[in-house]
Structure 1
Amino acid sequence: MCSANIASPRPYRKTKRALTEAETRQRIVEATVELHETLGPAKTTIKAIAERAGVQRATVYNHFPDLQVLFEACNAHYYERHPMPDPTSWVGIASPNERFRVAVRELYRWYEETEAMLSVGIRDIDAVPPAAREAFVGYFRHVARSLMTGRRERGRVRVRTAAAVGHAISFVTWHSLVREGSLTSEEAADLMEAMVGAAAG
């Protein structure tokens, strides 16, 4: 009986320790997201993350031995709450013009939702680890390709149309039209539809 009583707390202690470690890791990730969104990646230091999470710097390194791993965890947490528009929601639309109409509005709604993070993230893009940077840029390449598929323009007209599409789906374009130009996102989307139509015409 005595030996059984001594041994029984061990699984509980292990479980409790695992929960504590998971909670600590989550605090570190959330602290990183908050700092990235307010200060930007370039100004987010391990010291600042540790202070925000209420842990020692060594604890941050224990959970995230390098910056790439920390960025991946940060991105996964952020994009789980603010998922990027999924191109599969529009790739099946046969009409390229209708496909663009749907896509640009989905993107602009997402830009409204994630404006703070995207503003500082793009500003500090050189501070983002290469793999995370390439994943972000690659997403927009994929979006642009999905919006050019099925278009009949050829030669310089196609080049011009692709440039217009690329410009239209850019966060910087949305920010310029909405925050500096005082348009609504819907008005900005209408304007970009007209621009792409003119480029293709």
Structure 2
Amino acid sequence: MVTDEKRRYRMKKRAEAEEETRRRITQSTVDLHEALGPSRTSVSAIAEHAGVRRSTVYRHFPDELALFTACTSHWMGINPPPDPSAWSTIPDPEQRLSTALNGLYPYYRRTRQMMTNIHRDEEVMPMVKQMMGGYRAYLEAARDILLDGRTIPPPRRDTVKAAIGHALSFPVWRSLALEQSLPDEECSELMCRLVRAAQCIGDA
């Protein structure tokens, strides 16, 4: 006879096994997205990597949105970007920008493989573009914080805003740091100089 205690124990173990399976599928998705990119990762590959059947993947994640949401949440939990609110406490705009870039660029270096893949696939996978919405909002918020407090004539404001947005961009860091082999500190200094030059455009 199965007692209530045994039944509860079995239910607990079953739930733990299901949670572990879900975790393996999520981690496998992250691993393959980082190694290959979302556009080159199939459900079959995820299932094989996780050691489960395709049907098991679909049982835990019935559609692409559910799978991508879990993958993004898991990866972001492990790799949180620098907090822009910390930069807002720095009164000097130049120091604020330098501090921001010196925090952001090492983050880009640590996450460069995943970031390269998702930027590549953003243009070919609508789901990746949708998932990138949070990252774009993050960059916009950071740009506004770094623009605040600068004394800029109105005609130049959009130019300086664009220069700051450019400096925050992962593809810009990738070009300077990976393709041109500049250290992160030199990338930061170069972009700070770019923003200062944008602020002075038109001066005699």
State TM-score, norm by structure 2.
0.92
**1:6 positional shift:** 3.8
For structure 2, the 5+ residue unaligned runs are none
Superposition pairs of residues 65-76 of structure 1, within 5 angstroms: 65-76=62-73
Q: Which moved more, 1:13-22 or 1:63-72?
A: 63-72
> Does the CA-based 8 Å contact 1:41-1:128 persist in structure 2?
no
Q: Give the 3-state SS of the residue equivalent to 1:124 in structure 2.
A: helix
1:35 aligns with 2:28: no
1:21-63 residue CA offsets vs partner (Å, 9 max, x unmatched): 0000000000000010011011111111111111111111111
SS at match of 2:62: coil
Are residues 128 and 29 of structure 1, via their aligned partners in 2, closer, same or farther at CA, if it must alter by over 3 Å? farther
Q: C-alpha displacement at 1:154, in angstroms? A: 2.6
Tell me which residue corresponds to 1:21: 18
Q: How big is the shift at 1:128?
A: 5.0
Query: What count of residue pairs does the alignment treat as equivalent?
Result: 198
| 1:10 aligned onto 2:7 | yes
- Alpha-carbon spacing, 1:128–1:52, altered in 2? closer, same or farther (3 Å): farther
Q: Does 1:125 align with 2:122?
A: yes
* Partner AA of 2:12 in structure 1: T
CA positional deviation for 1:114: 0.2
Q: Report what 2:158 is aligned to.
A: 159
Secondary structure at the aligned position of 2:132 is classed as helix
Query: What is residue 175 of structure 2 aligned with on the other side?
Result: 176
Q: Distance in 2 between matches of 1:55 and 1:42?
A: 21
- 1-structure distance, mates of 2:134, 2:177: 26
In 2, the alpha carbon distance for the partners of 1:6 and 1:47 equals: 40
CA distance in 2, matches of 1:62, 1:138: 32
Which one-letter code corresponds to 2:95 in the other structure?
E
Give unpaired runs (5+ residues) of structure 1.
none
State percent identity of aligned pairs. Answer: 41
**RMSD over aligned Cα, in angstroms?**
1.3
4+ residue segments displaced more than 6 Å: none
- Give the structure-1-normalised TM-score: 0.94
Report 1:90-101 matches (<5 A).
Answer: 90-101=87-98
